Structures are given as structure tokens and as C-alpha cells.
Amino acid sequence: MKKSGIVKLLSWLSNIYPGKFDYPTGNDLDDELMENNWHEWLADFPEPVVEAAAKKAVMKNEVWPPTVVQVVKEVRELQKTEDEKLAWEEAFHLTIELIKKYGSVYGRDKINAELPARAKKAAEIMGGLSYMGYHIKDENKDFHMKRYKEIYENLEEREEEKLQLPPSHRKEIDQIAQKFKGTRQIQIEGESNEE
């Protein structure tokens, strides 16, 4: 989104929330700071998507204006794929259906080709397709479903945390993490990090 789109969005929010969202403020420095902050968070997204996300955020809270982070979260919701919207129950039942259809050992490639990435990862963490195929038949089915739910929702939460960041922020954080990862590895190996 271009800076001109940000100015338009901020003016729109000011009109929607008179007296609660002050833009323009009359102070050029404050206005520029607000524009830059919103632009930093929304620059990676197309203007029509941001506008739609802002409207969704407004609909969710008619009393108080949305923050830029709330708008980013709504952008992410709008951009989710069908696989990303798949609830744990659907993923679990799809995995079991595919195991029954193809077999957990010889049908592994076919199952993996049809399973969404998160469901595939949850099955791996759970113990694999063979484990799921074997244990889903026993008397502890509820225990295994609960375990799958916890794994799947944990994966979903971690993915969402990362994906809700705008791409430029994600890249910056990944670069910082890689830098520290390398530093940590050196320290573990016993080498000094001091210069």
C-alpha cells in the first residue's frame, strides 16, 4: 500500500470515529509519525485488501477505532487459504479417511499428496500415519483425538503468529533470529563471542 493510500485510510477512520481517531491532528510531526507507522505495517499489502480489512475491523468494533495491528490481522484473515482455514476436527477426520482409503503404510505417498501441510505435520508429530491408523481403532480414541487437537492447534497458533506479521517484518525478524542462532551455536561449541 502506498503512503497516499495510508493518508486516505487514516482520514476515512477519522470520519468513521469522530472525536476518537484524530487525523489529521494539526501537528505535522504527529501526522507524519502516524502515517509512517501505519505505512510500515501495511506497505506490503495491496490497497483494496487493506481497505476491506479496515472495514471488517470497523464492523467488529463500532465504538473504538482499530489499531494498525488489528487491521493487519484482518488482512491475514482475508488472505487465508482453504487449507489454512481447516479446523482440527476436519483435518483429523480427513487424515483418518485417507488412512482408511489408502492404508497407512503403502498409501503414505497418496495420503501425503492429499493432506494439507498442517494436517501432515500434526500427523508426523503424533507419531506418523501408521501410529494414527493403528491407535485410532483402540479404546483410547478420545485420548488420541485430544492429543491431535493439541498438536494441530499448537501448529496453527505458531503459524498464525508468524504469518500475521507483514512480510517485511517477518524477513527482518528471521534475519535477526539467524544472526543470534549463529551466535548461540558458537557459544555452545565453547568459542568466545567477544572481540
CATH number of the domain bearing residue 45:
1.10.8
Contact 101, 65 (CB under 8 A): no
Question: Using CA atoms, how far apart are residues 194 and 186, in angstroms rounded to an integer?
Answer: 11
Residue 9 and residue 47 in one domain? yes
Domain count, the chain: 3
Boundaries of domain holding 145: 83-162
Does the model's pTM come out above 0.95?
Answer: no
Q: Which of 43, 100, 92 has its CA nearest to residue 71?
A: 43
Question: Using CA atoms, how far apart are residues 73 and 1, in angstroms rounded to an integer?
Answer: 16
For 48-99, the pLDDT digits (tens) are 999 999 999 999 998 999 999 999 999 999 999 999 999 999 999 999 999 9
Q: How many CA atoms lie within 13 A of 96 on its CB side?
A: 14
Residue 104 and residue 51 in one domain? no
Residue 185 and residue 158 in one domain? no
Residue 8 and residue 40 in one domain? yes
Residue 72 and residue 113 in one domain? no
Question: Using CA atoms, how far apart are residues 148 and 156, in angstroms rounded to an integer?
Answer: 12
Residue 125 and residue 101 in one domain? yes
For 159-177, the pLDDT digits (tens) are 988 888 888 888 888 888 8
Q: Give first-to-last CA distance, the chain, whole Å.
A: 42
Beta-carbon contacts of residue 115 (< 8 Å; ≥ 6 apart):
91, 94, 95, 98, 123
Does 187 score more than 80 pLDDT?
Answer: no
Domain-ending residue, one of 64, 79, 94: 79
Question: Using CA atoms, how far apart are residues 72 and 74, in angstroms rounded to an integer?
Answer: 5
For 107-161, the pLDDT digits (tens) are 999 999 999 999 999 999 999 999 998 887 767 788 889 999 999 999 999 998 8
Residue 97 and residue 151 in one domain? yes
